[in-house]
Amino acid sequence: MIVEIIFEDETIVVVNKPNNVLIHNSYYARNIKDATILDVLQNQLGFPLYPVHRLDRKTSGVLLLAKQKENVAIFQELFNSNKIEKTYVGIVRGFVEESKLINSPVKNPDTQVYKNAETLCKPMQKVVLNIPVHPYETSRYSLVELKPATGRMHQLRIHMNKISHPLVGDYKYGDRFHNRMFENEFDCNNLFLHAISLKFQHPITQQKIELTAKLPNDWNFVMKKFGWKSFE
């Protein structure tokens, strides 16, 4: 596996994380023995990196890592103080007709305490397919833009399920009938959630950074099937 490098300077490396790759080993993924993104990048670049934020294993897209451990906190402060704009795209079940601000607490898996979480969901494109999915004779999907104001674990997946528009390929919070249809019709079983961009002012160089991660191949395949316009 070769990981695409989106941006690199003396302090950070930003990569396009593939689907189904852990950032690092953790208790929650203790049964997964595959190489992590940190392992792959260490072999690819020849030096260690330190993650500033996290993406779920099944989520692809922009991931920011620090070259020096002492700089992690400096960049994490951008996320903690909402000085970084995170944008995701997702494919969800059903039609999202208008922008929605989802403001619903999400449970922390460590403490079991609910914490405030906020996501702005904006519809982009939609499609009706003449493919039956139980209990309907057709199936409907929306392409949405998601902007989380907080960074809770599984926040976007939980929030989209909360408004009855679960992400396609989400085997924990999603709809098994639609997931199965994507497997059978399109040979796709990945989660359709992609961290498309990060925008921030570099806290060390003061440079304005705007980074975009290309869509995975399964996204391009499905968007072509659906007749959706490219937005990259």
Active site residues: 56
| Cβ neighbours of 44 (radius 10 Å) | 14
Query: Cα-Cα-Cα-Cα dihedral of 44, 48, 53, 55, to 10°?
Result: 40
Give one DSSP letter per residue of 97-155, joined into a string.
-S-EEEE--EE-TTT--EE--EEEEEEEEEEEES--BTTBSSEEEEEEEEEESS--TTH
Length of the chain: 232
Q: H or E segment at 184?
A: helix 176-186
Pairing of strands 60-66, 139-148: unpaired
Residue 225 token pair? 């099937």
| Cβ neighbours of 168 (radius 10 Å) | 24
In the block, which residue shows the tokens 């906020």? 118
Cα 133 from Cα 139, distance rounded (Å): 6
Inter-CA distances, 100 with 54, 63, 146, 155, 169, Å? 24, 26, 10, 15, 22
